[in-house]
Structure 1
Amino acid sequence: MVSLLPRAPCLASLPKPATAASFSLWRPAMSSLSATAHAPVAVGAATGQPRKLPVLLFDVMDTIVRDPFYHHIPDFFQFRIPLMSMKELLESKHPTAWSEFEMGLIDENELAKKFFNDGRSFDLEGLKECMVSAYEYIDGVEEILCCLKQNNYEMHAFTNYPVWYQLVENKLKLSKYLSWTFCSCLTGKRKPSPDFYLQAVDHLNVDPASCIFIDDRMANIEAALSVGMVGLHFKNAEVLRKDLCSLGVELAPCVHEDEAQVQ
């Protein structure tokens, strides 16, 4: 049974409504936060060097970076294909082309051919430019990533995204904070498949309960719970900061590189 923990020290017996003010930590009933998420270090089997736990696994779109799909992409197609609403876009696009692209099963040229069910062509380079122009950090999240990095936490992207993740990296430089280790186009697996999560645990060589998984979609959180990870349902940066602190994750004030140079 999965329980929802409030910010108060005591456990609630019933889940609270998923509002921006409610606590968003979910965990497997059998996991022990005091024994895992609060543990300061562990020894990495591969290197023999101290390893700070927990390991943090971040979804990217709508958790770290604003996803342009629901706002900018419809406008892009409406400008080029008049009167195409969001509903019409969803109905006319190929049902599996994007997920195939995310898993690396097709390249962007094949995506362009399959994107619409009727095979109509569109400006692929224009679409990419539209997406790049829209990529931006969600308010407050980069500050949290900076704090986590300066406190020596190990962080990895755990995301369903195609090779265009490189466009995100080129613009926002996420690799300053985390590794693009678990990207669906590199692994051939997508959330919420439990195999994806198990692959990550195996690669990291850690106990699942030593991983905190952060995502804006509950289906992906539930999959993480099923393999024994701790899950945080992302709502906004303020809630995320409070949730991480409640787990004992260190979030000392972030000192930016330019500030450090002045000092």
Structure 2
Amino acid sequence: MAFVLLRPTTATVSFPLKLKHPTSKSRKMAIKIINSSSNTTSTGDNGNRKLPILLFDIMDTIVRDPFYHDVPVFFRMPMEELLECKHPTAWIEFEKGLINETELARKFFKDGRDFDLEGLKNCMRRGYSYIEGVEGLLRALKQNNYEMHAFTNYPIWYEMIEDKLKLSTFLSWTFCSCTIGKRKPEPDFYLEVLRHLDVEPASCVFIDDRMRNVEAAEDVGIVGLHFKNADSLRQDLSLLGIDI
């Protein structure tokens, strides 16, 4: 499956103003500052662009992650044993696009044991589902014309997620680690996002269930939100003045 990525038009105004790099300690103050201004639309060569741009982690932020819920059952071992047996870097290499799935199967376990790769993929596919309440939230944001992008650590199997859940209805699969060759929380992955979007960091809001990734976004000036559930995210976005 191929996804065509179109470079967005250039924005010249940050959302809704330039902020100092927010940290987790100063997040409430950042929300207060942002909420004091209205959303800004900037005009580029090809038309209007509504800000802020929303960057979403995928696994356990939008989509249930089968690795933690279903894969230990597939391998018939507790998660602790699975983590001990699997190769320490094979999945990371797969996420960065450095190895393909055949190579992943060869080195997934440290001892090189064989396993049913297609069975694992089917297990993952069955386990993909929207986290409760998130699909409706994405639909509301899409209806309000927000630009949304995936910003996720995931291998080429993101195509299985797309096939099943059609996330491209709401967002673009623009920033996947397997196509960019970088992973969160590597700072250069965040900087690559900003280079591609051609916006000020404070023009972006990043949502992730892992606080480490949120803090890395805040370190480069992106507004970060820690995902807990759809209701709390809806409240956090509203506090930022985002129409839902």
TM over 0.5: yes
How far did residue 33 of structure 1 move? 2.1
In the other structure, the counterpart of 2:213 is 220
CA distance in 2, matches of 1:198, 1:97: 25
Where do 5+ consecutive residues of structure 1 fail to align? 12-25, 79-83, 252-263
How far did residue 5 of structure 1 move? 4.4
How far did residue 50 of structure 1 move? 1.1
CA distance in 1, matches of 2:213, 2:66: 20
In the other structure, the counterpart of 2:15 is none
How far did residue 52 of structure 1 move? 0.2
1:153 maps onto 2:141 in alignment? no
CA distance in 1, matches of 2:46, 2:90: 43
CA distance in 1, matches of 2:142, 2:124: 27
Deviating 4+ runs (over 3 angstroms): none
1:33 maps onto 2:43 in alignment? no
Q: For residues 96 and 38 of structure 1, do their structure 2 counterparts lie closer, same or farther at Cα, with a shift above 3 Å needed?
A: farther
1:16-71 deviation line (CA, Å, top 9, x unaligned): xxxxxxxxxx77xxx95258x73320123xx3411100000000000000001111
Corresponding residue to 1:166 among 154, 159, 166: 159
CA distance in 2, matches of 1:180, 1:168: 11
Corresponding residue to 1:94 among 76, 80, 87: 87
Equivalent residues, number: 222
Q: Is this contact kept in 2: 1:62–1:216, CA < 8 A?
A: yes
1:178 maps onto 2:178 in alignment? no
In the other structure, the counterpart of 1:136 is 129
The letter of the residue matching 1:187 is I
CA distance in 2, matches of 1:32, 1:197: 23
CA distance in 1, matches of 2:43, 2:184: 28
**Greater helix share, 1 or 2?**
2
CA distance in 2, matches of 1:226, 1:68: 30
How far did residue 233 of structure 1 move? 0.3
- 1:225 partner SS: helix
Q: Is this contact kept in 1: 2:34–2:241, CA < 8 A?
A: no
In the other structure, the counterpart of 2:238 is 245
Match runs of 1:1-263 below 5 Å: 2=23, 3-5=25-27, 11=29, 33=34, 38-44=38-44, 47-78=45-76, 84-251=77-244
CA distance in 2, matches of 1:176, 1:250: 19
The letter of the residue matching 2:136 is E
Q: Is this contact kept in 2: 1:38–1:247, CA < 8 A?
A: no
The letter of the residue matching 1:220 is N
TM-score (norm 1): 0.81
1:222-260 deviation line (CA, Å, top 9, x unaligned): 110011000000000000001101111001xxxxxxxxx
How far did residue 87 of structure 1 move? 1.0
In the other structure, the counterpart of 1:260 is none
Q: Is this contact kept in 1: 2:147–2:171, CA < 8 A?
A: yes
CA distance in 1, matches of 2:27, 2:199: 24
Looking at CA atoms only, which structure, 1 or 2, has the larger radius of gyration? Answer: 1
The letter of the residue matching 2:39 is A
- State the identity %: 64
1:140-182 deviation line (CA, Å, top 9, x unaligned): 0000100000000000000000000000000000000000000
CA distance in 2, matches of 1:68, 1:97: 18
1:84-131 deviation line (CA, Å, top 9, x unaligned): 321111001000000000000000000000000000000000000000
RMSD: 1.7
The letter of the residue matching 2:158 is Y
The letter of the residue matching 1:61 is M
